Structure 1
Amino acid sequence: MAHANTIDLERFEMARGQTFRHHVHAEHQLAWASTGVVMVDIRDRCWVLPPHLALWIPGGVRHATGALRESVLQGVYLDPDTCPLAWPGPTVLAVSPLARHLIAYLAGDLAPGVRGHAEAVLLAVLRLAVGAVFELPLPSDARAREVAALLLDDPADQRGLAELARAVGSSTRTLLRLFLAETDMTFTQWRTHARLQAALVYLAEGEPVGRVAERVGYATPSAFVAAFRRVTGATPAAYAARTRDEAGETP
């Protein structure tokens, strides 16, 4: 990273399923997909990020990043010695249209004074995301982690726990115990949160509620709306409207 700049940028074109395995940077990082959807895995948590959200990753925090569909990942790296921002842990930020344009602008060849001004504006407009942002806990046991990976890859998977247990060489009782012990959720609660986390992406992309319900494994839109409201306190339509507001879009 060039010491003359507070911010350095890298652009990665990623195919669906492509992953940058666990690694660490000395710099703070803002992980953001300008197109597509990425998932960031940090220790025992994961975040799914459509283009209106980014994840602040403090320097020194080990993480992995994968593309859930064809995506362009923008790595925004910030020098800890000069960056005025210092969230101590992984933090979800809203990416406004202005922030999006500034990141693209900073990727160009700029004079030092112009670049410094643009960097200062970008840092000033970054803000915490509001609304239904899920930080999903992940089990650490290999068998439970494999079940979690299957359901994150296909939230609409209709297999019951017994079938999933057979698929990973475990028992239903063992998986029930592992999910509760390692995520502080029952398996049913965890599956619901995983489905709703996937739904956030489709809602952010403007898909109708009925189609989103089907994509994430609900038999009816009303069942999906009830689950979404129970967990988030809002309806999917209200979340989608809030997402448009965060992104600076009009309905």
Structure 2
Amino acid sequence: MVSQSGQLTGSPDGGILVGSFRYDAGRTTPPHVHVDHQLVWASSGVLHVTTDGAGWVLPPTRAVWVPAGVAHVTGASTPATMHSLYLPQDCPVRFSETEPTAIAVDDLLAALIVHLARTDLTDAARARAEAVVYDLITPARAGVVHVPMPRDPRALRLAEALAADPADDRDLAAWGRHVGASARTLARVFVAETGMSFARWRTHVRLRAALVHLADGVAVTAVARRVGYRTPSAFVAVFRRTLGVTPRYYLSR
């Protein structure tokens, strides 16, 4: 089956469907839900998936499992090719029914997703590949960049400004004067509404921006400067402390 924005392949009798779509930089979908579970993966470029108040950045080494019925928006920070698996609700994979889960994509899972996107597979060949895919869909061991957004309008103004310019290094007192709230109030709101301190939240925003640049081939030195770190070593140290691995390892398989 071919849609306006891409191609769907697979068997219609309860197996895995694979959607293949090209995304231009800046393209986003409207909020939507699926009746099946979805695994969103970029074979090239960087995708981002957002739900109500949360977001995930997906270079080719990461995917995100979106449970059936969960509203989300998919977009691309750079030109990207998305392969989206649609898996029946009774499939053997079991994660949260209400929250997306970050998935590590190694070489084998990546190859199998591309394999399942073919249109010339026999039913038997497709069934064998699907069985292995189910075994390989496991949560990412390394940390993931997760950026929940606050709901308080003052904190949200701050969050949106930092998302647009993660290198802005104003402290909470300065931001408070800008949005009309005390530093103490903003600190309390970030913990209550994002589950993170403001400092940790800003780190995730910077790393989200960094991943887009890194996946686009920008050197670590330039990336560090663009997202607000004075030295590459400081950036790499924060990256490792937050995500458990170096930038090079995170983007490799």
Instruction: Give the alignment's TM-score, normalised by structure 2.
Output: 0.80
Q: Of 46, 58, 64, which aligns to 2:55?
A: 46
Q: Mark the CA change 1:66 to 1:163 in structure 2 (over 3 Å): closer, same or farther.
A: farther
Q: Mark the CA change 1:41 to 1:136 in structure 2 (over 3 Å): closer, same or farther.
A: same
1:98 matched to 2:108:
yes
Residue 116 of structure 1 corresponds to 127
Superposed, which structure 2 residues align to 1:16-95 within 5 Å?
Answer: 16-81=25-90, 83-88=91-96, 89-95=99-105
Q: Match of 2:149, as an amino acid?
A: L
More displaced stretch, 7-16 vs 218-227: 218-227
Q: Of 8, 16, 19, which aligns to 2:17?
A: 8
Q: Mark the CA change 1:150 to 1:31 in structure 2 (over 3 Å): closer, same or farther.
A: farther
Q: Match of 1:7, as an amino acid?
A: I
SS of alignment partner, residue 26 of structure 2:
coil
Shift of 1:203: 5.0
Unaligned segments of structure 2, at least 5 residues: 1-9
Shift of 1:207: 5.1
Shift of 1:66: 1.6
- Deviations for 1:75-96, whole angstroms, at most 9, x for unmatched residues? 1100113x11121231111111
Question: Between Structure 1 and Structure 2, how many residues are aligned?
Answer: 239
1:36–1:71 contact (8 Å) kept in structure 2: yes
1:225–1:235 contact (8 Å) kept in structure 2: no
Q: Match of 1:76, as an amino acid?
A: L
1:5–1:116 contact (8 Å) kept in structure 2: no
SS of alignment partner, residue 128 of structure 1:
coil
2:11–2:123 contact (8 Å) kept in structure 1: no
Distance 2:16 2:240 in 1: 39
- Deviations for 1:27-67, whole angstroms, at most 9, x for unmatched residues? 00001111111111122221111011000111111111121
Q: Mark the CA change 1:123 to 1:185 in structure 2 (over 3 Å): closer, same or farther.
A: closer
RMSD: 2.8
Distance 2:78 2:172 in 1: 26
Q: Mark the CA change 1:44 to 1:219 in structure 2 (over 3 Å): closer, same or farther.
A: same
Q: Match of 1:16, as an amino acid?
A: A
Q: Of 190, 205, 223, which aligns to 1:212?
A: 223
Superposed, which structure 2 residues align to 1:136-215 within 5 Å?
Answer: 136-158=147-169, 170-173=179-182, 175-176=186-187, 178-202=189-213, 208-215=219-226
2:78–2:212 contact (8 Å) kept in structure 1: no
Distance 2:245 2:61 in 1: 19
Distance 1:130 1:37 in 2: 20
Structure 1 segments of 4+ aligned residues over 6 angstroms from their partners = 162-167
Q: Mark the CA change 1:6 to 1:49 in structure 2 (over 3 Å): closer, same or farther.
A: same
Unaligned segments of structure 1, at least 5 residues: none
Distance 1:105 1:56 in 2: 19
Q: Of 245, 248, 252, which aligns to 1:240?
A: 248
SS of alignment partner, residue 132 of structure 2:
helix
Q: Match of 1:141, as an amino acid?
A: D
Q: Mark the CA change 1:185 to 1:108 in structure 2 (over 3 Å): closer, same or farther.
A: closer
Shift of 1:171: 1.7
